[in-house]
Amino acid sequence: MIVHILSNSRSLYSTRRLFEEAFKRGHKVRVYPPVNLALFIDKNVTQVFFQREALSRPDVVIPRLGQKKPNYTLAVLRQFEMMGVATLNGSQAMGRCRDKLRTLQILAQHNIPVPKTFFLDSLSDIELAIEMVGGPPLIIKLPEGSQGMGVMLAETVPSARSILEALLNQGLHVLVQEFIAESRGSDIRVIILGGKMIAAMRRISLSNDFRSNVHRGASTEKVNLSYEARRTAQQASRILGLQFAGVDVMESHRGPLVLEVNPSPGLEGIENASGVNVALAVIEYLEKLHRLQQVRDSVGY
């Protein structure tokens, strides 16, 4: 296969691992920073340019949606989709998951358990938001962000009010979410590929940080997932239209709750904690998609 990886840096662990496993299996692999690609559109013409040269059509694209101009990355991905290229995840599904509120709205609509969440844009709704999620301590989030950025813990009503007022006065939209005390600063990252769970790990936050993101130094360990948690993670990925996802699940007294769904999950923590070669599994999955597409093309579908 000809494989293009859309990533801002070839040196990132996840990008490097995907490149290595694809290369070892004999595929032609290139890494392109999406911000360095240019797009051309005309009647019946769609092209992608890199350094003033038109790229040949790849067989598959692996998109990594980072913090650097994510909307442009999605535009590049849409261009490849218009060219009929198979992608690990589609642009529409990835765009949904970039917005935490939209993700929760879709999951809740399909009866997937999520934390109690209040979305507000007005100072007049602050007291109602605090009340609806059960009072402090509570979590305050910005709708867009990753790796724990834009996530705050308010332990009292005055601190919650102060944080919310500061954010709203800057013209930001804010999510207020219940704090799940029984999780004790940990959550579970579940990797879903092709509708099935292939790996899982528990992430445990630092003693002075309630966020359990690996990029913030959280420790990880292998975990045996309950049937209910596994099923919930698989359903969340399917509902959002993702073929590859990192589903963050928190254990609560009322069962597993889906916190977020990441369409470009990092591989370092999960591979080290679970012992699963996630990068290889992704490449093997793309090989199956490519073979299926070849069969369809041969019979004229």
- In order of start, what are the domains of the chain with their CATH numbers? 2-89 (3.40.50.20), 96-112+183-280 (3.30.470.20), 117-179 (3.30.1490.20)
The reported pLDDT for the residue numbered 130 is 96
Percent of the chain with pLDDT over 90: 79
CA distance 147 to 180: 19
The reported pLDDT for the residue numbered 301 is 57
What is the chain's mean pLDDT, rounded?
91
The reported pLDDT for the residue numbered 150 is 79
pTM of the model: 0.89
**Closest by CA position to 114, among listed 289, 261, 221, 222:** 261
Residue 190: C-alpha distances to residues 165, 185, 244 (Å): 35, 17, 11
Lowest mean pLDDT among 24-28, 34-38, 149-153, 246-250: 149-153
- Per-residue pLDDT of 272-287, as tens digits, reads 999 999 999 999 999 9
Whether residue 137 has a cis bond before it, omega within 30° of 0: yes
Contact 234, 85 (CB under 8 A): no
